[in-house]
Each structure stands twice: as C-alpha cells, then as structure tokens.
Amino acid sequence: MPRYAYVNGRFAPHKQAAVHIEDRGYQFADGVYEVIPVHRGRVVDEALHLDRLEYSLGELSIAMPVSRASMRLIAHELMRRNALTNGFLYMQVTRGVAPRSHPFPKPAPRPALVMTTRQLPVPSEEAIERGISVVSTPDQRWARCDIKSISLLPNVLAKELAASQGCAEAFQIDDEGYVTEAAASNAWIVTHEGTVVTRQLDTDILSGITRLSLQRVIEDLGYRLEIRPFTLDEAYTAREAFITASTQYVMPVTRIDERIIGNGRAGILTTALRQAYTQHVVEQGEGADRFAAS
C-alpha cells in the first residue's frame, strides 16, 4: 500500500513530499521534533510528547503551527492512512520559510509542520536478553540539550562512531567524566546494592518521556531510585545498565567499551523494569481509541 506524509496542510505520497528550499529547518536547523511511539495502533504518552513539543517551541520562540487538537487529528489520520501498528510517529516543526538571514525573520513566517510514520519490528526476546553494546565518546553537543532540536550533527557523529565499532549506542561523557546521556536515549545503571541511577534533568540532557514514565513505574514498584550523575567508571562496574527511548522502551546494555556489564546478559532488575514499562504501554492502549487500521 502507498505510504503517506503530511507537509504543511496536506497529505502527500511519501516519495513526493517536499519542503521549500528556504525552510529555516533546512538552512539553519531552526526547528524541533518529536518521536512518539505507537504500540498496536495506539499512541503512547501522547500528551507528554505534545507538552515537550510545546516546551521546545517556546524556548525558541516558535508558535505552535496548529492547535494541539488539530495536531492529534492530523497524526491519527496519518497513522490510519499508513496502517501504522507498531513503530513511531515523527513530528517536526520549523520556524518556516524566509529569505536566508540568521536573525529571526520579521514578521514571523508561518511555522512549518511535517509528519511521517515508520513501522518498526518488535525485537525478539533473545535480542532483548542479549542487550546492546555501547561505546563512550566526549559529549560535543550544545548547551541546551533540554530542547529537542533538529540540529543533531554531534549525535550523528556519536552514532556513526558506535556503528563503526559494531555497537548500537554511544554514551556521551562530559568534561568531568560523567555520563550525560546516550546519542538517542537516556542512560541508566543499577548499582550492586540494587539502586537504579539516572542523571538529573538539566540543560545537559533531554527530558525523555520514556525516562519520565519509567521513573513513575520504578516509584510505584518500590525500587530504590537515585537521580544523580554517574561516571563512566561507575557504569563499567555497575551490576546492570540500560537505556530508555521512545522506540526502544527499556533496552539492556550488556557491554560498554568492550567491558562486559554484569554477566553479559540482561539483568534481573532491567528485565523486570522492561516488563513493567511494557505493561504501562499496554494499559495506555486499553484506555485509548485505536486510530490505525487493523
């Protein structure tokens, strides 16, 4: 079946979808984005993702291109047209089209809105049990990582480094030796005492939606949680490690820089957290309308 995209007010076949060459997202990376997971045809944590989208836009003085209600309708219609079951919805908003000049154009152009979807396979239990390998790399990103900017070149370089070494992710390390986050996910460890640790929210990391939802799951289950920085050396010697991301949920990390974490398989606590978070996703779906075609 044909695949569709949404671009500035119209649905178009994916291969024909295009934006103006003077869109400021194209020339300046002047925009933000969201990646929203879809599970069994239902959007996961939709309100939280739209909250973060509005925050990022507000920090850049870009207006919402349409109302939240309209954005939801567009998203769900695109999901329906693409028969999206398991995968993600990508939203991108830029400052719009204007002659190339660094300052914000005045008057402000109409913000540009693009949406696409992608179907993703559900990972096998063996793949989850095996976990992923990561490399470490200096954090070279800008000072406002709390904004979900489309300017991702440092992340691209970190991911390319990981791929070149046969790894799936890269832990980014600040000047003091602490892990900030991974290239496209939040980073966590489990200490030998069974305490779950993840870095505090600040301008050095993105406020991950899966991170937020998992934090609530951890608190509900009564596990010990510390919100603090942890060093790369702590990660090397941790009992367990994992990442969280909208497209991966809770994914075990079993190797960092060729060092085996734990016994080299998904840890007991990580496995329990993945199962609990997946149940959170399922329960959300049970309480929502289904918009994708079956």
As annotated, the active-site residues are 148
**Measured CA angle at 201 (ends 196, 187), to 5 deg:** 45
Amino acid, res. 43: V
User: Of 46, 83, 35, nearest to 281 (Cα)?
Assistant: 46
Look at residues 113, 181, 102, 189 and name the one whose alpha carbon lies nearest to residue 145. 181
Phi-psi region of 160 (alpha: psi -120 to 50; beta: other; left: phi over 0): alpha
In this structure, the chain runs to a length of: 294
CA separation for the pair 268, 58 (Å, rounded):
40
Ramachandran angles phi, psi of 244, nearest 5° = -130, 140
Q: Does an H or E element contain 270, and which?
A: helix 268-286
Could you give the CA distance from residue 201 to residue 190 in angstroms, rounded to a whole number? 18
Q: How are the residues of the chain apportioned to helix, strand and coil, as percentages rounded to the nearest 5?
A: 30, 30, 40
Nearest-angstrom CA–CA distance, 47 and 266: 31
Helix orientation angle between 268-286 and 209-221, rounded to the nearest 10 degrees: 110
* H/E segment holding residue 226: strand 225-227
Pairing of β 225-227 and β 196-198? parallel
Torsion over CA: 276, 282, 285, 291 (sign):
positive
